[in-house]
Amino acid sequence: MPRRTEPPADMLPVEEALARILDLVREMPAELRPIREATGQVLAADVVAPFDIPPHDNTAMDGYAVQAADTAPAGADVDGEGAAELRVIGELAAGYVYEGAVGPGEAVRIMTGAPMPSGADSIVPFEETDETGLQAPGQSADAGQRSVRVLKAARPGANIRRRGEDVRQGALILTRGLVLRGAEIAVLASMGIGAVSVVRRPRVAILSTGDELLTPGASAEGEPPAPGKIYDSNAYGLAALVEEYGGVPVLSGIASDTVPALTAKIAEAVAAADMVVTSAGVSRGDFDVVKEVLAQEGEVRFWTVRMKPGKPLAFGRFSAADGRAVPHIGLPGNPVSSLLAFELFGRPALFKMQGRQVQARPVVTAVADEPIINTDARRVYARAIVDRAADGRWHARLTGPQGSGVLTSMAYANGYAVCPAERERVAVGEEVEVLMVDWEHAPD
Ligand code: AMP
Ligand code: MG
């Protein structure tokens, strides 16, 4: 059994760190966006129906608009024996209005969506007449020169979509705070609304720090980095997460570990963004000037959070030249810690900035197929693959080595299996809660 060390008393629980961060972030202002460009954004104001939908009674079927009373004698005889015979007085396609009226003994041939002609009170579908319904427009009989046999008595109101049955004028149909998906956008379009008030997406500046970092793509593809150097993976992973969480990433590049370089880069980042995310330089390293510069340039606090990986975290605010308060999250440098901490703290912060309900990820209870060891009383987030086993239960296995530098452990995971801070281990066969971050990769 590995030796277990107790954490310092001032170490913050994850929930407490998150509460403090959420306390300092504010919702972005609203903006008017064309509906075509508003997918995934949050509605900033309630939407009330400007008119009824459908705007008029209309037919739900291709067929004949009739007076139901005329079809009463219609029998179920397949040959049409005893069927009601009506005079076809005209034809109406969707998109037009029938100028005349349907009188007793008359019918108007009508296509789905066309407004009900006055006088008619029901629609007889082609299938219930002696017409197959396959004539092309123009091949049907001229008005007054043709008749149709109705094979089945029509019920008054049959096959009519009533004005306002979907939405009543003045009704609240979409409420502030919901995320626009295809269905909501379609509702807006159906009301003729071309642009909508949504919460602006937050721009998130992402700044990497460290003399060891190289920009991927700077040297020939597949080249290992120069001695002592590594490629900057945090900025790219974080940018992708910012996008996934609804923000707009702004890559601010790499700041070297000198005070002037870092000061200049931070000023640039603050000017460009609604939130600044830095990575590295928040732990106890001797050469990290990040802490010094952050403390100088903004009100920033340095925390240790009771989680593993990802213990060190900075959070605070910078003041932009134009007076805006720009929140800052200082993530740990180790790539796994950095991405995990951004999932746990950055995602809810970005959601709040977008006016979204702060939604926790779904949690499944799974059977641990591998142990999770907790050596120092922090909450462990083990990268796991969750799938349903032959016994019908969810099972969690780990993605291999769990070091905070082992990025592939993140890439192969669809969830994070949680060993609570107060437990020393989750043993094989015990239940474990798994925070699911990617259900799409969870096989059934
Ligand atoms: P630090 O917090 O500066 O001590 O960094 C911790 C570890 O994370 C070191 O091994 C760094 O090289 C590594 N690291 C820092 N920034 C990045 C980055 N942007 N991409 C990949 N690894 C990084
Ligand atoms: Mg460093």
The whole-angstrom separation of Cα 181 and Cα 198 is 13
**Closest by Cα among 259, 268, 436, 271 to 361:** 436
Three-class DSSP category at 16: helix
Q: What pLDDT score does 75 carry?
A: 61
Question: Ligand 2 centre from 287 Cα, in Å?
Answer: 7
Mean local confidence (pLDDT), 357-367? 91
Three-class DSSP category at 362: coil
Residues lining ligand 1, judged by CB closer than 6 Å?
208, 210, 212-213, 230, 232-235, 279-281, 283, 285, 288, 332-335
- Closest-approaching ligand to the CA atom of 338: 1
Q: What is the DSSP string of 145-198?
A: SEEEEE-SPPPTTTTEEPTTSSB-TT-EEE-TTPBP-HHHHHHHHHTT--EEEE
- Residue of the CA atom closest to atom 6 of ligand 1: 333
What protein residues have CB closer than 5 angstroms to ion ligand 2?
Answer: 210, 280-281
Question: Ligand 2 centre from 213 Cα, in Å?
Answer: 9
Query: Average pLDDT over the chain, rounded to whole?
Result: 91
92 bridge partner residues = 110
Q: What pLDDT score does 10 carry?
A: 81
Q: What pLDDT score does 72 carry?
A: 84
Hunting for tokens 């104001």 — which residue is that? 45
- Closest-approaching ligand to the CA atom of 287: 2
Residues 76-107 have pLDDT tens digits of 554 556 689 999 999 999 999 999 999 999 99
Question: Ligand 1 centre from 252 Cα, in Å?
Answer: 16
The whole-angstrom separation of Cα 251 and Cα 256 is 15
Return the higher-pLDDT residue of 10 and 335: 335
Residue 233 per-residue DSSP state: -
- Residue of the CA atom closest to atom 11 of ligand 1: 333
Which atom of ligand 1 is found nearest the CA of 334?
Answer: 8
The whole-angstrom separation of Cα 37 and Cα 33 is 6
- Residue of the CA atom closest to atom 14 of ligand 1: 333
Q: Is residue 4 predicted with pLDDT exceeding 60? A: yes
List CB contacts of 38: < 8 A, sequence separation 6 or more.
Answer: 180, 185, 196, 198
- Closest-approaching ligand to the CA atom of 284: 1
Q: How far is CA 230 from CA 206, 214, 247, 278, 338, in A?
A: 18, 6, 27, 17, 16
Residues 298-308 have pLDDT tens digits of 888 889 999 99
Question: Cα–chain-centroid distance for residue 177?
Answer: 13
Inter-residue contact 36 to 88 (CB < 8 Å): no
- Residue of the CA atom closest to atom 16 of ligand 1: 333
Q: Is residue 238 predicted with pLDDT exceeding 70? A: yes
Which atom of ligand 1 is found nearest the CA of 232?
Answer: 20
